[in-house]
Amino acid sequence: MDDLKEKIIQELYEDARKPFSKIAKTLGVSTQTVMRKYNEMKRDGTIVLSAMSLDIEKLGFLGTAHLHIKTKLGVSAKKTVETLRKTPNVMIATRTIGVYGAYAVLAFRSAEELYENVSRIKDLPDVLTLDASFAIPGIRKFPPKKG
């Protein structure tokens, strides 16, 4: 990656929607140059993803389940992660190094939906065990006050 591309990336880390004209001004080059470099990086796969981050609680989700998955001995987590990546409401899915073979984050709207989706993931052919933790931002106090 050339120096200018690196600088453009640094600018985009701050805000992926930062106008090309603004980046050009900061870096002292023309807008066309920034645009050309950006398009090059998108085409050749340097920029893998540029996306808006969303507050899922405000979109009606109750919370997220953080799934730590072990696959059967001698079986890679590749297939499992590939399936997870096509599963609705799975926002994060990756193979991992460590105690577990894969990690995923699943957003859910209700306890029923959570139960259904986690059961389905647990039943995937390569999955050996699944440990889960849940983040439910709506619960401000835990345990809830008595009375």
- How far is the C-alpha of 139 from the C-alpha of 116, rounded, in Å? 22
Q: Residue 7 Cβ, how far from other proteins at the closest point, in Å?
A: 11
- How far is the C-alpha of 55 from the C-alpha of 82, rounded, in Å? 25
Q: What are phi and psi of 65, to 5 degrees?
A: -105, 130
By CB under 8 A, name the binding residues for other proteins: 1, 6, 9, 12-13, 15-17, 45-60, 66, 68, 81, 85-100, 103, 107, 109, 131-138, 140, 142
- How far is the C-alpha of 120 from the C-alpha of 122, rounded, in Å? 5
* Coil vs helix vs strand at 12: helix
**28 vs 58, beta carbon nearer other proteins:** 58
**74 vs 138, beta carbon nearer other proteins:** 138
**28 vs 45, beta carbon nearer other proteins:** 45
Q: Residue 125 Cβ, how far from other proteins at the closest point, in Å?
A: 20
